[in-house]
Amino acid sequence: MQSTVAFINGQAYIEEMPETPLTLRAVEINAPDARTFDEEDEPPHHPYDVFVRAFADAKTLASVVVHKSADQLMTRVVYQQFITLMEAFLGDTFIYVCERDDKMVRAIIMKIGRFKDVKVPIRAIAAAPEQYLRSQLMPWVRGLSWHDTEIADKLSIAVFGKSVFPDDATRQAIVQAVEVRHDLVHRNGRMKDSNEYRVLDEDDIHEVAMNVRSLVEHVNHLFLEWLPNFWFDDVPEFEDLKEWKLEG
């Protein structure tokens, strides 16, 4: 649901909730969490750059002070947004790789159980094997729900050889955050196994933001390790550079 902020006699209100006044204030987002983009700048295209910009926007939204009666609503919206940013980044990253690297396409098809028993026309493979495999894979990759942490992890292992999670603590925190988001979206916050409703606060927002950023930075590091191998693959003059890795 989208809401519109309206101004009446200088006071901000949520248009759908005119009885709930808002207090807006300017906030300063400090580096390294934010990067500034002028209005005339082109939107970023690299998955991590897109994430950084959206992450800064979400932090700005989290800093907006609202009337107490709307505080829980705003907290829920911001919490869900951080999970959405994670989903978008994962989707953008794996789509980017699969659109460009034939080896990664083959790796996913060979390692993901979904494709184990798929029957294919021999002539299609003989005519253009790589194009055919990609045409079968990409609609599935594009249609994935990236908050499915199990499939995201399997894809990361297939593509990068490492888990999508930087460590077990982040894994547990992200899995829990996805469950919370599901309760918020599908049950208005009511927990699956009880009639209790989730009540979120600033600490919950900070925790989900930091865990999402940890996962994203980890996957982006794996992506940056993949790049030079993709660029220099099968190019004899760059053979000695294949072991090069980005620092950081």
From 54, 99, 83, select the one nearest 175 (Cα to Cα): 83
Name which of 112, 27, 90, 103 is nearest 220 in CA terms.
90
Q: Residue 131: its pLDDT value, please?
A: 79
Q: What is the reported pTM?
A: 0.71
Separation between Cα atoms, residue 47 and residue 217, nearest integer Å:
11
Residue 85's pLDDT is 95
Domain segments of the chain as ranges: 28-241
Closest CA to 215 of 174, 161, 182, 178: 174
- Tell me what pLDDT residue 39 has: 46
Residue 167: predicted pLDDT: 97
Q: What is the pLDDT along the chain (248 residues), one digit of tens a residue?
A: 455 555 444 455 555 565 655 554 433 334 344 444 454 455 556 888 899 999 998 888 888 766 666 778 888 989 999 999 999 999 999 999 988 888 888 888 888 877 777 777 776 677 677 777 887 788 888 988 888 999 999 999 999 999 999 999 999 999 999 999 999 888 888 888 888 888 888 899 999 999 999 999 999 999 988 887 766 554 444 344 344 444 43
Give the model's pLDDT for residue 26: 37
* CA–CA separation, 164 and 217 (whole Å): 10
Nearest to 44 by CA among 88, 77, 82: 88
Give the pLDDT confidence score for residue 5 in this predicted structure.
52
Q: What is the pLDDT of residue 237?
A: 41
Beta-bridge partners for 20: none
Nearest to 231 by CA among 142, 103, 120: 103
Q: Residue 219: is it exposed, middle or buried by C-beta count within 10 angstroms (0-12/13-18/19+)?
A: buried
